[in-house]
Chains A and B, each alone.
Chain A
Amino acid sequence: MIDTRHLRRPLAGIASLAAASLVLAACSSGDSDTSGSLEDVDPDEVSGEISLLTPIFEGTEGQKLLEDELLPQFYAEYPNVKVSVDYTTYGNLNEKLTTAAVSGQVPDVMLMGVGWIEGFAAKDFLADMSDLGLTQDVLLESYEPTIVEAGMYDGGVYGVPIMLDTRIGIARMDILEEAGYDAPPATWDELIEMSEALTVRNGGTLERAGFDLLSNDSRQVFETFLFSAGGALFNEDNTAPAFNEQPGIDALTLMTELINTYKVEDIGFASTDQAVHPLINGRAAMGLSHNNLWTQAEDVDPEILQHMEPFLITGEQPGMFFGGTFATRSANSSSPEAAQAFLEFLTSPDIALAANEQRGNVPALKELLETEYVESNRFVQFSLENLEYAQREGGPASWLEVRGDFAPAIESALLQQKTPEEALNDLAALVESTLARS
């Protein structure tokens, strides 16, 4: 295995693995490459020019972190490797990856989101890192099973987590205490009751939402409630939708009733592209939020942070959604050892911690729970403490094709154009046809 002694590697088990021959997955053009085990490779002998495609480390701040602080550490260890970085945004990552894949110009190391890996792995663009010792068992020593599983496809390990982002409940305790509550809701029933009580209207005009669920992507909000209802997006082998079963219907019914029956928020009151989250300026008493609400509030009104309390949306079970950024390696890299070395560098504790700190996100490594950064960010800390409940989206290789169909279906139920059951069944039919096609 590559020597990364300077990095306090969490993947201690890797070093003890027996040497395995590196058999790269065949690339789309039919090339293949073979190299020996990396276990005994001298870092000075690892060489090559590799490329990194990244939707993180963006902007001057991110680039300075990567190029001025992190890469020099890597070059100190691997002096004969050169990394060229292609910065993009998550909004355009899919186009970058798709055109790269079509043209055969696949970057050696690619950072991509949860739910993305399956599609690219299925098309043989990504290398199975089990061949180099990064097996599921090794990763399970450092990460929660659900996090490891997010980087896997068809039994192989194709992605290693760098950072996570979560969707959790947040309560404004100052507002709750004014209304006589001393803790966030612990059940769906409490959520409904408290949201109703905390909603403020002035002559029919909503002034404060009791529970805000419109500031986030509606698909991810639905998934959080779905997970808390004990449901899943797909069946176990990801061959059929499961989101239209009873837990899914219950989850979407709750969302629909919160808006239309209990009237705790009005359509249009909040949106994903608003200038400020309603929990920050008091336009909402509770809500479902991205963990980066902490850093947003720090920028706008640090005083408000003392009043913000994270909680898990709990129905049949505690529910938490997680997305994230995983490091993957191209199956047809001309310098697989160099690419693997760089991937392991990016996912190592110190480097992942720095990347998470820059974005205000949740480190995937359990061992980082007691770091200063995590302890200074209550939402990150809470997310990391409760990762056992976190579930993700994705599963089938065609997830990226179908995920765009979720929002219109969910919104049709919220707008009462369809019942929750109709909306989910129609969506399931769409998803089934895509799954059948692929």
Chain B
Amino acid sequence: MSTTTDLVLDEEPGATPKAPRTTSAKGAKTRSTIILHVLLMVGAITMIIPFLWMIFTSVKTNAELAANPPTFFPTEWRWENYPEALDAARFDLYFRNSFIIATGHTLITLVFGSMAGYSLARIPFRGRNIVFLAMVAMLMIPTYTKIVPQFLIVKMMPLFGGNDILGQGGSGWLDSWWALLIPGGLSATSIFLFRQFYLSLPKELEEAARIDGLGEFRIFAQIYTPLIKPAIATVGLLTFQESWNNFLWPLLVTTSENLRVIQVGLAVFQQLDATAWQYLMAGTTLATVPMVLLFIFAQKYFIQGFTNTGIK
């Protein structure tokens, strides 16, 4: 940097910059790039090490897990941990259920969340801001405080599970797909994200569409929504991930083994007094794969989505 300063001092005012300065600037830029890449690599390694540890632990033997000092790389790759872990619980069923719930939640969110977001962003109606503020306020309610009220709503669903019209006498939606799919199918976060995206689009498109005779729903579906693919990818991915990782709600509202999800299956390996680390890591690795693949395919839109909404 001092070289550059010296060169500048030697120059006459208004003179064209000399070649050495350009070289020096290029060098500085290269150095900055190298430093940036080194920092990014350190960050990436920091992020990836827990995943590597998870994978390596999943193929270690019991004896190696007990080794002192502990090893990072397995000395013997015990792939049998995977089939053994899958045999420890009905993981095929759990995977299927988690996939159905996550897909269901994602579809509900994308359809109704986008409609709600569009309404709050582009349709003027009395009390719109109050509704929006209420949505934002909902973001601040911790999940655990909603568990019992939500459970009671589900249990008292009228005309379901033996309930009468007043929601009494039966079990409502408990231990059914309804309880797994409807509550949590739509979140305030997704509506907020969609609203932000719809707000960022130009009003002229809407005006042109109205002149062409399009109704509100077609403007929403054919004009604006195709322009917010990053939002769809972002909200879809976040919703899928949240549903895939959900553990407590499915556990509370179901009693049948046939409705249990992947996270419940993983709990088999982690009891209060002992943890089967190799099986837990094998199961967790398998449970992580769908999310990793989904992110790989949608990452371009996903990152774009967060950039556009200004969320970091």
- A contacts, CB < 8 Å to B: 51, 53, 58-61, 63, 84-92, 95-96, 98-99, 102-103, 105, 107, 165, 273, 275-276, 280-283, 290, 292, 295-296, 299-301
Tell me if A60 and B88 are in contact (CB < 8 A): yes
Tell me if B274 and A296 are in contact (CB < 8 A): yes
A136 to B87, CA, bound (A): 42
Tell me if B66 and A105 are in contact (CB < 8 A): no
Q: Mark B116-156, 1 if CB is under 8 A from A, else 0.
A: 00000000000000000000000000000001100110010
Tell me if A290 and B273 are in contact (CB < 8 A): yes
**Which residue of B248, B260, B267 has the most chain A CB atoms within 10 A of its CB atom?**
B267
Tell me if A275 and B277 are in contact (CB < 8 A): yes
A-B contact pairs, 22 of them (CB 8 A): A58-B268, A59-B268, A60-B88, A60-B90, A61-B88, A84-B255, A84-B256, A87-B260, A90-B271, A92-B267, A95-B251, A95-B252, A103-B151, A165-B273, A275-B57, A275-B277, A281-B67, A290-B273, A292-B273, A295-B274, A299-B62, A300-B62
| Closest-CB distance, A322 to chain B (whole angstroms) | 13
A86 to B174, CA, bound (A): 13
Tell me if A95 and B248 are in contact (CB < 8 A): yes
A60-B87, A103-B151, A105-B174 are known contacts. Are A273 and B271 too (CB-CB below 8 A)? no
Tell me if A103 and B155 are in contact (CB < 8 A): yes
Tell me if A275 and B65 are in contact (CB < 8 A): yes
Q: Specify which chain B residues have a CB less than 8 angstroms from the CB of A91 in the assembled complex.
A: 267, 270, 272
A99 to B248, CA, bound (A): 11
A107 to B272, CA, bound (A): 22
Tell me if B63 and A301 are in contact (CB < 8 A): yes
Tell me if B66 and A301 are in contact (CB < 8 A): yes
Tell me if A276 and B271 are in contact (CB < 8 A): no
| Closest-CB distance, B187 to chain A (whole angstroms) | 21
Is chain A's binding surface mostly helix, strand, loop or mixed?
A: mixed
Q: Specify which chain A residues have a CB less than 8 angstroms from the CB of B271 in the assembled complex.
A: 58, 89-90
**CB contact between A103 and one of B66, B152, B277 (< 8 Å): that residue:** B152
* Minimum CB distance partner of B257 in chain A: A87
Tell me if A102 and B275 are in contact (CB < 8 A): no
**CB contact between B255 and one of A51, A281, A282, A292 (< 8 Å): that residue:** A51
| Closest-CB distance, B70 to chain A (whole angstroms) | 7
User: How many contacts between A and B, using CB within 8 angstroms?
Assistant: 86
Q: Specify which chain A residues have a CB less than 8 angstroms from the CB of B287 in the assembled complex.
A: none
* Minimum CB distance partner of A59 in chain B: B268
Query: Is B171's CB within 8 Å of the partner chain A?
Result: yes
Query: Is B2's CB within 8 Å of the partner chain A?
Result: no
A102-B151, A282-B68 are known contacts. Are A59 and B252 too (CB-CB below 8 A)? no
* Minimum CB distance partner of A107 in chain B: B255
Q: 8 shortest A-B CB distances, which residue pairs?
A: A86-B255, A276-B66, A281-B68, A59-B268, A300-B66, A103-B155, A90-B272, A300-B62
Tell me if B251 and A88 are in contact (CB < 8 A): yes
Q: Specify which chain B residues have a CB less than 8 angstroms from the CB of A102 in the assembled complex.
A: 148, 151-152
Q: Specify which chain A residues have a CB less than 8 angstroms from the CB of B260 in the assembled complex.
A: 87
Q: Give chain B interface residues in 254-310, CB to chain A under 8 Å.
A: 255-257, 260, 267-268, 270-275, 277
Query: Is B55's CB within 8 Å of the partner chain A?
Result: no
Query: Is B89's CB within 8 Å of the partner chain A?
Result: yes
Q: Specify which chain B residues have a CB less than 8 angstroms from the CB of A296 in the assembled complex.
A: 274
Known: A95-B252, A292-B274. 13 other contacts (CB 8 A): A51-B255, A60-B90, A61-B88, A84-B255, A86-B255, A87-B257, A89-B270, A89-B271, A103-B174, A165-B273, A281-B66, A295-B274, A301-B63
A281 to B256, CA, bound (A): 40
A59-B89, A165-B273 are known contacts. Are A92 and B251 too (CB-CB below 8 A)? yes
Q: Specify which chain B residues have a CB less than 8 angstroms from the CB of A283 in the assembled complex.
A: 68
Q: Specify which chain B residues have a CB less than 8 angstroms from the CB of A59 in the assembled complex.
A: 88-89, 268
| Closest-CB distance, A201 to chain B (whole angstroms) | 15
- B contacts, CB < 8 Å to A: 57, 62-63, 65-68, 70, 87-90, 147-148, 151-152, 155, 171, 174, 248, 251-252, 255-257, 260, 267-268, 270-275, 277
| Closest-CB distance, B172 to chain A (whole angstroms) | 9
Q: Specify which chain B residues have a CB less than 8 angstroms from the CB of A58 in the assembled complex.
A: 267-268, 271
A275 to B85, CA, bound (A): 17
A59-B89, A60-B87, A102-B151 are known contacts. Are A92 and B248 too (CB-CB below 8 A)? yes
| Closest-CB distance, B175 to chain A (whole angstroms) | 9
A95 to B174, CA, bound (A): 15
* Minimum CB distance partner of A87 in chain B: B257
* Minimum CB distance partner of A52 in chain B: B255
Q: Specify which chain A residues have a CB less than 8 angstroms from the CB of B257 in the assembled complex.
A: 63, 85, 87
A300 to B60, CA, bound (A): 12
A273-B275, A299-B62 are known contacts. Are A105 and B155 too (CB-CB below 8 A)? yes
| Closest-CB distance, A84 to chain B (whole angstroms) | 7
A103 to B161, CA, bound (A): 14
Q: Specify which chain B residues have a CB less than 8 angstroms from the CB of A84 in the assembled complex.
A: 255-256
Tell me if B70 and A275 are in contact (CB < 8 A): yes
* Minimum CB distance partner of B91 in chain A: A60
Q: Specify which chain A residues have a CB less than 8 angstroms from the CB of B256 in the assembled complex.
A: 84, 86
| Closest-CB distance, A283 to chain B (whole angstroms) | 5
A92 to B89, CA, bound (A): 18
| Closest-CB distance, A85 to chain B (whole angstroms) | 8
A88 to B260, CA, bound (A): 10
A89 to B251, CA, bound (A): 10
A219 to B65, CA, bound (A): 27
Q: Specify which chain B residues have a CB less than 8 angstroms from the CB of A282 in the assembled complex.
A: 68
**Which residue of B68, B70, B255, B260 has the most chain A CB atoms within 10 A of its CB atom?**
B255
| Closest-CB distance, B153 to chain A (whole angstroms) | 10
* Minimum CB distance partner of A304 in chain B: B66
Q: Specify which chain B residues have a CB less than 8 angstroms from the CB of A53 in the assembled complex.
A: 255
A51-B255, A92-B267, A165-B273 are known contacts. Are A300 and B63 too (CB-CB below 8 A)? yes
Q: Specify which chain A residues have a CB less than 8 angstroms from the CB of B57 in the assembled complex.
A: 275
A91 to B155, CA, bound (A): 23
Q: Specify which chain B residues have a CB less than 8 angstroms from the CB of A292 in the assembled complex.
A: 273-274
* Minimum CB distance partner of B255 in chain A: A86
* Minimum CB distance partner of A103 in chain B: B155
A295 to B271, CA, bound (A): 14
**Which residue of A92, A96, A99 has the most chain B CB atoms within 10 A of its CB atom?**
A99
Q: Specify which chain A residues have a CB less than 8 angstroms from the CB of B90 in the assembled complex.
A: 60
A385 to B278, CA, bound (A): 34
Tell me if B151 and A99 are in contact (CB < 8 A): yes
A163 to B155, CA, bound (A): 33
**Which residue of A107, A275, A281 has the most chain B CB atoms within 10 A of its CB atom?**
A275
Q: Specify which chain A residues have a CB less than 8 angstroms from the CB of B147 in the assembled complex.
A: 95, 99
| Closest-CB distance, A137 to chain B (whole angstroms) | 32
* Minimum CB distance partner of A216 in chain B: B273
| Closest-CB distance, B262 to chain A (whole angstroms) | 14
| Closest-CB distance, A145 to chain B (whole angstroms) | 25
**Which residue of B66, B90, B171, B252 has the most chain A CB atoms within 10 A of its CB atom?**
B66
